[in-house]
Amino acid sequence: ISYNVYGVVFCCSICSDTKLKDPFSLAQKDLQNLYEDIKKQLLVSKAELKALCDYYFDGKGKAFRPMIVILMARACNVHSNKEGVLLPAQRSIAMISEMIHTASLVHDDVIDDSDTRRGKNTINQVWGERKAILAGDFILSAASMALARIGNTTVVSVLSQVIEDLVRGEFMQLGSKENENERFKHYLEKTFKKTASLIANSCKAVSILVNSDPEVHEIAYQYGRNVGIAFQLVDDILDFTSSAKRLGKPSAADLRLGLATGPVLFACQQFPELHAMIMRRFSSDGDVDRAWQYVLKSDGVEQTNYLAQHYCQEAIHQISRLRPSTERDALIQLTELVLRRDK
Ligand SMILES: *[C@@H]1O[C@H](CO)[C@@H](O)[C@H](O)[C@H]1NC(C)=O
């Protein structure tokens, strides 16, 4: 069979009569009990801390990162002639990636003073900021222990980079007053650090565990990096186009936080009036509403979407260098889901 992704036609060379399986159902078996296993890592006798740490592992997350990690692991395994077996350490990486992601959400909610996430009250809203910070730290410490248990120092160092990037990305987002030229570069770098680094380095880690070829590590990393950036670009679009109800948090949240994301930055090229608002981080009365109107009048959303497509194409280009497998093809298909998602 062949299938068409943004005008690029791919052929499934080994499985001419096999149906393309959707990424979620393909990874489902390996992801079973993932949240239960995570909760088992959060060993703590104090009931209140336990409740905080378990709060977001309620099975309502999309498990988007673990899914990519599992599919990448299996794709790399096939590529390395290890068909059919997912290494326990690779599944641990899937679990650890979700733990690091969740810890960062807990901390982000404190930094942004958010009161809702996924349609429920945030930890800081329910228990207060101080306990939320500690809960995030605790989840990170449990992730670090799980990582150490894998016993591979290369993998430890690859995933430690993620935590550094998360901190640096958050810092970049805090007080940026860069000029117009550097703004976009700064935005993409921040996007890599805050979102894509986790996916890129988790993908790299599972490849390291099965294959010693640096070229394979690079393929896994680049796939994750490109999909991760595309994912965040779409997230930034949804902040303008999706309803608050669907998102489970208020829309235009980024503008309210003073953040100029892709759609605004593109809109600014068309409507220079936005420049002053971006510089003062939409802090004057009516800025958020006015900026919102400009963005919807502009083709900022369309251009950001176009950029996301570009990153997805690059992700496909990278992953296509692996030997064909159902999982590899699911990773190709996943880029389409990233672009099409509406929440
Ligand atoms: C990590 O694991 C891979 C795959 O088993 C192995 O080739 C590599 O030597 C290990 N590295 C370390 C530092 O343990």
- Which CATH number goes with the domain that contains 87? 1.10.600.10
With contact defined as beta carbons under 8 Å apart, do 66 and 98 qualify? Answer: yes
| Atom of ligand 1 minimally distant from the CA of 152 | 14
How do 2-5 and 116-117 pair as beta strands?
unpaired
Residue indicated by tokens 């829309």: 251
The minimum-distance atom of ligand 1 relative to the CA of 151 is 14
Could you tell which of 85, 157, 208 is best to mutate to test the pocket of ligand 1, judged by most ligand atoms within 8 Å of the CB? Answer: 208
pLDDT at position 217 is 98
The two three-digit tokens of residue 253, written as one number = 């949240």
308 alpha carbon to ligand 1 midpoint, in Å?
34
Q: How far apart are CA 244 and CA 10, in angstroms?
A: 37
Ligand 1 binding pocket (C-beta < 6 A) is 152-154, 208-209, 212
Could you tell me where the beta strands, DSSP code E, fall in the chain? Answer: 2-5, 8-11, 116-117, 120-121
Q: Identify the pLDDT of residue 82.
A: 84
Residue 134 · residue 49 · CB < 8 Å: yes
129 CA → ligand 1 middle, Å: 40
Closest ligand 1 atom to the C-alpha of 210?
A: 4
Q: What spacing in Å lies between the alpha carbon of 87 and ligand 1's midpoint?
A: 13
Counting Cα atoms < 13 Å in the Cβ hemisphere of 340 gives: 7
Q: Which atom of ligand 1 is nearest to the CA of 211?
A: 4
> What's the gap in Å between 211 CA and the centre of ligand 1?
9
Quick one: which atom of ligand 1 is closest to the CA of 212?
Answer: 7
* Whole-Å CA distances, 137 to 38, 157, 163, 212: 15, 19, 11, 33
DSSP code of 324?
Answer: P
- Give distance in angstroms: CA of 147 to centre of ligand 1: 14
Q: List the residue whose alpha carbon is closest to atom 10 of ligand 1.
A: 152
Q: Whose CA is nearest to atom 1 of ligand 1?
A: 152
DSSP state of 7: T
CA distance linking residue 157 with residue 155, whole number of Å: 5
Going from the Cα of 79 to the center of ligand 1, the distance in angstroms, rounded, reads 18
The answer to whether 97 and 66 have CB atoms below 8 angstroms apart is: yes
The pLDDT assigned to 43 comes to 85
Determine the Cα–Cα distance for residues 125 and 250; give it in Å rounded to an integer. 15
Q: Which of 149, 153, 154 to mutate to test the pocket of ligand 1 (most atoms within 8 A of CB)?
A: 154
**CA nearest ligand 1 atom 12, residue:** 152
What is the domain range of residue 159?
Answer: 2-340
Count how many domains the chain has. Answer: 1
162 C-alpha to center of ligand 1: Å?
Answer: 19
The one-digit pLDDT tens for each residue of the chain (343 residues) are: 344 444 344 433 333 334 556 888 899 999 999 999 999 999 887 888 888 888 989 888 889 999 999 999 999 999 998 877 899 999 999 999 999 999 999 999 999 999 999 889 999 999 999 999 999 999 999 999 999 999 999 999 999 999 999 999 999 998 766 677 789 999 999 999 999 999 999 999 999 999 999 999 999 999 999 999 999 999 999 999 886 566 666 578 899 999 999 999 999 999 999 999 999 999 999 999 999 999 999 999 999 999 999 999 999 999 999 999 999 999 999 999 999 988 7
Q: Which residue has the tokens 């987002």?
A: 173
What count of other Cβ atoms lies within 10 Å of the Cβ of residue 221? 25
Confidence (pLDDT) at 59: 82
Q: Whose CA is nearest to atom 13 of ligand 1?
A: 153
